[in-house]
A and B are shown apart, each in its own frame.
Chain A
C-alpha cells in the first residue's frame, strides 16, 4: 500500500510540475530548463526551515514556494531585459550553479543528500491524508493556472506570444508579463518541492539534474503544449511508465539507461509524428464561458 501512496503522491507532484512548466514554456513562450531547480529550491528551503529553524511544516512549505519565486525573478529579470533567448542560457547556468552550491554548502547535506527531514500529516492523520493533500494541491494548481489562462490574462498572454511589438505598442509591458509568468510557474514548482520533501524525508541534488528537466519537458511535449489536460496526462503516463518497466525485472544497470532512451525517443517520435502532443490545444484562444456569453449578449 505504501508503494501505491508514494506513486500517487509523485504523480500529483509531477502534475503540478508539468502544469506549471507548461504555463512557462507553453503559455508564456519562455524557453527555460531550470524548472527542477525551483522544485529543489522549494524542497531544500522547506526542509531546512522545518528541520534546523523549527518553522512549522505548514508554513515552511509555502515559504519554499516564496523562495523559489524570489529566485525565479532574480534569474528572469536580468536575462529577459536583454532578450528572451538569454533566459535559456541563464536557466542552464542557474541549474548547474545551484546544484553545485547544494553539493558544497556545509548545511545542505552535500551530494549525499539531506536526511532527518520532519514529516507532516502522516503521523497525525495517516498517509492517506498526505495523498489527499498532494492531490488537492495538484488540482488546485491546475485549476488556478487554467483560470488564469482562460481569463483576460490568458488573452494578453496569447497576444504577447503572437506579436510582442504590437503588444507593446498597445501599452502592454511584455517583460513584466513574462517575469510574472515565470515567477508564478516557478513558485508552484517550489511548492511541489515542499510537499515532496516532508513525505519522502530525504533529498539529494542528483534528483534535480538535467535528466529531470528532460523528463518534465517530455511530459509537457508528449501530453500537449498549452492544453489543460496535456501536462496532466503526460505527467501521469510518464510517471507510470518507469514504474511499469521495473516490473519486467531487468537489472538496475539496464533499467536506468533504458528510461533515458525511452524518454528521449518519446520526445523525438512525438516531435515528428504528433507535435501537438496527445491532447492538442486549439490554435485559437478561447475565453471562459462568461466572457463569451457576455460578448454574445452585448
Chain B
C-alpha cells in the first residue's frame, strides 16, 4: 500500500471535451507535487474529480490505501482529503474563526440528535475545536483577525484562510488550487511555510499553480498536464527547461 494519493486511469469527458484522459498520478505522503500546464489542461478538473465534485467516467482514486472512487464529497473529506478553491469559496456570513470551525472534520454540534441528547459532548468538542482553530490561526499568522468578517479581510489573507480552513480537517492529502494567484508579501511566505510544514508532517500535497517561481521554490517535483493527459513528470527545473513543454504552455 502506498501512503498518499494514488490515482489510476482517471477519465472524464463532458460531451466532446476530454478533461481527464486516463490519468495515472501518485502523490506520496510527505511530497509536494506541482501540476503545471496551460489553461484548459485539466488541472482544476483533476482536483474536482479527486475531491468528488464530479464523478469520473472511469478510474480509481485511492487515499492511504482506501478506495474512495465511489464515495461522495463529504465522505472523501472525512477520509482526510482537503482542498482549496481557485475562487476561495469562503463563507461570507461567518467570521474568520467560524469559517475554520466548519472545516473541523467532526463537529458533533452540527447534528440535531447529538445537540439534544449529548450537550456535554458538544461543549467539550466545541471547546477543543475552537482551541485548535485558534492554534491554526496562530500558525498562519491570522490570529489577529479571528473575529473579523471575511468581507473585511484583504485578498491575500483570504487565500490564507482558505488554506487554514483546509488544515482544520487534519488532511492526509491536500489539494491547493492556485494558492498564490494574487498573493504577495506576508501571505505568500506564510502559505509557503505552512505547506512545507504540512509535507514534513507527512501530508501528500498537490498544487496547481501558474506561478512557476512558487512551484520551483516549493514542489519536490512537477507534473506537466496538457489536454487532460499527464505528459511529463520530473523535477520542476527540467520541466520548465523542456522546449517541447514550453511550446505547449505558451501555444504556437
Contacts and interface: CB of A to CB of B under 8 A. Distances in A.
Contact of A148 (B112, B147, B165): B112
Nearest to B80: A171
A163 interface: yes
Nearest to A287: B98
A4 interface: no
B93 interface: yes
Contacts of B110: 152-153, 155-156, 172, 177
Given A166-B89, A170-B77, A285-B93, A152 B134 contact: no
Contacts of B105: 171
B115 A148 contact: yes
B112 A184 contact: yes
A295 B169 contact: no
A170 B169 contact: yes
A285 to B, nearest CB: 5
Contacts of B109: 151-153
B147 A295 contact: yes
B89 A165 contact: yes
B98 A285 contact: yes
Contact of A166 (B91, B112, B146, B149): B91
A158 B78 contact: no
B69 interface: no
A246 interface: no
A180 B147 contact: no
Nearest to B119: A151
Contacts of B89: 163, 165-166, 169
Interface in A153-209: 153, 155-156, 158-159, 161-163, 165-173, 177, 180, 184
A272 B168 CA distance: 42
A177 B73 CA distance: 15
A159 B91 contact: yes
Contacts of A180: 112
A100 interface: no
A172 B74 contact: yes
Interface string B123-138: 0001100110010000
B93 A158 contact: yes
B77 A152 contact: no
A170 B106 CA distance: 10
Interface in B46-61: 51-53
B91 A284 contact: no
A168 B52 CA distance: 9
A185 to B, nearest CB: 12
B239 interface: no
A159 B112 contact: no
Contacts of A285: 93-95, 98
Interface in A56-90: none
Contacts of B214: none
Interface in A243-298: 283-285, 287, 291, 294-296, 298
B83 A169 contact: yes
Contacts of B149: 284
B94 A159 contact: yes
A187 to B, nearest CB: 11
Contacts of B134: 295, 298
Given A169-B83, A171-B105, A162 B73 contact: no
Contacts of A172: 74, 102, 110
B130 A151 contact: no
A184 B112 CA distance: 9
Contacts of A159: 91, 93-94, 98-99, 102
27 contacts: A152-B122, A152-B126, A155-B101, A158-B91, A158-B94, A161-B93, A162-B93, A166-B89, A166-B90, A166-B91, A167-B91, A167-B102, A168-B74, A169-B77, A169-B89, A170-B77, A170-B169, A171-B75, A171-B78, A172-B74, A172-B110, A284-B95, A284-B149, A285-B95, A294-B126, A295-B97, A296-B147
Given A158-B93, A172-B110, 14 more contacts: A148-B112, A151-B122, A158-B91, A158-B94, A162-B93, A163-B91, A167-B102, A168-B73, A168-B74, A170-B168, A171-B78, A172-B102, A284-B94, A291-B130
Interface of A: 148, 151-153, 155-156, 158-159, 161-163, 165-173, 177, 180, 184, 283-285, 287, 291, 294-296, 298
